[in-house]
Amino acid sequence: MKTERRPRRFLLRNLVLHFRPTTVPEPTLKFTFTWGLGGMAVVLVMLQIVTGVMLKFVYEPIATQAYASVIHLQNDVPFGGFIRNIHFWSANFLVVAVFLHLLRVFFTGAFHAGRRFTWVVGLILFFLVLASNFTGYLLPWDQLAYWAVTISTGMLEYVPGIGLRIQHLVRGGPEIGQATLGIFFALHTAVIPILMGGLMAFHFWRIRKAGGLAVSRPPENEPDAAPASVPVVPGLLIREAVVALLVIAFVCLMAAAIDTPVGAPANPGLSPNPTKAPWYFGGFQEMLLHFHPSFAVFVIPAIIFFALLLVPYVNLEETGAGIWFASRTGRRTAAIAAVSAVLFTGLLVFLDEFYMDWTGWMPDVSPFLSTGLIPAAGCFVVVAGCYLSARKLFSATRMEALQAGFVFLTVSFVVMTLTCALFRGQGMRLMWPWP
């Protein structure tokens, strides 16, 4: 009996529609609505997996051989250096893309009912992306890797009560050594990719279930003003393919132009000065210079993490959902918050370096209070002030005022990250990045 061949387009359409609804609201096709950031993250994760599998053929996860295997890969294996460079650049761009995607979702208010759990899963994905980057950082086993991981895992010590235990668990003992390399390798090449794969599939399914991306809803008395829907194939598919090809081309260009840094082999007896954490933990390293360690690495990050986790469950107006910063007022308050955060954080970093001396000013008070609770409470009062001024001075809605507060925190964190990466020299003192 003759069976009818299914056209290839039917199969493609069917595959795509497992991940996508059949139609999506037209405004979501506009590039400046999402900046294609979620799609970029998907492409970068794929590049990571493909190049990671290739690297595994050569890399040796043994402390005495890891460095030599990386040098061999770079110098002797055809295209070894290029593949390593693609892995390196896509990993770093992934952190940036996912962070910007988080901001885009937050600032277009796309985390309300129907998307709450998508947001929570997204947050977990963000932490997995950081963990994936961080565990990969140690693998070359050079000075850069060894000391960056020593500094970052050293921060864990300050988690109150259980800090040392967590640190030993992550390091596989008190010091960085073979056990750490084994743990990081297993996490980097098996545990984290499997978790990410599962959660990404779930993330896409949730987006599909919500009927695509969040767009602004028409007022109840004007149902005809609802945005038109367009078929996903080819409208969205073509746009996603263009973004994917551009991302791949850009990563390949970077990989061809700039090599992944590799330092001298790891030497546990010789720490470089300054020793810096990977750039994406630079904000925390900078906070360590200004706050009591328990506040810098635990209390402040934990408060911000739980606030982010709970934000979709707070009672906020949904009127601005699907619009960047909800309204003109929202965009104005966000811009003012961003400028204030640059000035406030820059000034505080400078004053704390040269003029402020909390312990000297309060000699009888414990450092937990004088360098922890009091300055941290001061900073939270400033963020709360940002929220209240947006509400009172600009008549912002709760959602817009919250976004202004979040802009302030984000810009502040970015300023601290840049300060640590560019303006800290020997002994972690402030300096100009150019001689």
Determine, following the binding rule CB under 6 A, whether residue 171 of this chain makes contact with ligand HEM: no
Q: Which residues pair with 23 in a beta bridge?
A: 231
Determine, following the binding rule CB under 6 A, whether residue 122 of this chain makes contact with ligand HEM: yes
Strand ranges inside 297-432, DSSP E: none
Using an 8 Å Cβ cutoff, are 137 and 153 in contact?
Answer: no
Gap between the Cα atoms of 328 and 13, Å rounded = 39
Interacting residue with ligand HEM among 25, 39, 278, 320 (CB under 6 A): 39
SS3 431: coil
Looking up tokens 């008395």 gives: 221
Q: Residue type at 342?
A: V
Gap between the Cα atoms of 307 and 303, Å rounded = 6
Interacting residue with ligand HEM among 87, 115, 171, 290 (CB under 6 A): 115
CB nearer to ligand HEM: pick between 213 and 402 = 213
Determine, following the binding rule CB under 6 A, whether residue 202 of this chain makes contact with ligand HEM: no
Residues 6 or more apart whose Cβ sits within 8 Å of residue 219: 225
Q: Which residue is nearest to ligand HEM (CB)?
A: 122
Subset of residues 383 to 402 that bind ligand HEM, contact rule: CB under 6 A: none
Shortest distance, CB of residue 38 to ligand HEM, whole angstroms?
2
Determine, following the binding rule CB under 6 A, whether residue 111 of this chain makes contact with ligand HEM: yes
Gap between the Cα atoms of 431 and 106, Å rounded = 34
Interacting residue with ligand HEM among 105, 139, 300, 409 (CB under 6 A): 105
Determine, following the binding rule CB under 6 A, whether residue 340 of this chain makes contact with ligand HEM: no
CB nearer to ligand HEM: pick between 200 and 342 = 200
Q: How many residues bind ligand HEM (CB under 6 A)?
A: 27
List the one residue out of 273, 322, 284, 302 whose CA is nearest residue 424.
Answer: 273
Shortest distance, CB of residue 102 to ligand HEM, whole angstroms?
4
Instruction: Say how far residue 294 (Cα) sits from the centre of its chain.
Output: 22
The separation between the first and the last C-alpha atoms of the chain, rounded to the nearest angstrom, is 80
Interacting residue with ligand HEM among 24, 41, 243, 341 (CB under 6 A): 41
CB nearer to ligand HEM: pick between 77 and 237 = 237
Gap between the Cα atoms of 251 and 90, Å rounded = 6
Interacting residue with ligand HEM among 200, 338, 374, 428 (CB under 6 A): 200
Using an 8 Å Cβ cutoff, are 332 and 326 in contact?
Answer: no
Q: Which residues pair with 312 in a beta bridge?
A: none
Q: Which residues pair with 25 in a beta bridge?
A: 229
Interacting residue with ligand HEM among 20, 24, 25, 42 (CB under 6 A): 42
Shortest distance, CB of residue 96 to ligand HEM, whole angstroms?
12
Determine, following the binding rule CB under 6 A, whether residue 136 of this chain makes contact with ligand HEM: no
Q: Which residues pair with 229 in a beta bridge?
A: 25
Residues 6 or more apart whose Cβ sits within 8 Å of residue 246: none
Determine, following the binding rule CB under 6 A, whether residue 119 of this chain makes contact with ligand HEM: yes
Shortest distance, CB of residue 251 to ligand HEM, whole angstroms?
15
Quick one: CA dihedral 297, 298, 304, 306, positive or negative?
positive
CB nearer to ligand HEM: pick between 205 and 394 = 205
Residues 6 or more apart whose Cβ sits within 8 Å of residue 69: 58, 59, 60
Q: Residue type at 166?
A: I
Shortest distance, CB of residue 45 to ligand HEM, whole angstroms?
6
Planar angle of CA 84, 89, 95, nearest 5 degrees: 130
Q: Most distant CA pair in the chain: distance in Å? A: 93
CB nearer to ligand HEM: pick between 138 and 215 = 215
Determine, following the binding rule CB under 6 A, whether residue 416 of this chain makes contact with ligand HEM: no
Interacting residue with ligand HEM among 46, 72, 126, 254 (CB under 6 A): 126
- In this chain, which stretch among 111-119, 161-169, 258-266, 299-307 interacts with ligand HEM, using CB under 6 A? 111-119
Q: What is the DSSP string of 133-171?
A: HHHHHHTT-BHHHHHHHHHHHHHGGGSTTTHHHHHHHHH
Gap between the Cα atoms of 312 and 118, Å rounded = 10
Interacting residue with ligand HEM among 20, 112, 203, 276 (CB under 6 A): 203
Binding mask 62-101 for ligand HEM (x = CB under 6 A): ------------------------------------x--x
Interacting residue with ligand HEM among 20, 24, 25, 34 (CB under 6 A): 34
- In this chain, which stretch among 56-64, 113-121, 267-275, 385-393 interacts with ligand HEM, using CB under 6 A? 113-121
Interacting residue with ligand HEM among 54, 83, 95, 110 (CB under 6 A): 110
Instruction: Give me the residues that bind ligand HEM (CB under 6 A), please.
Output: 34, 37-39, 41-42, 45, 98, 101-102, 105, 110-111, 115, 118-119, 122-123, 125-126, 129, 200, 203, 207, 210, 213-214
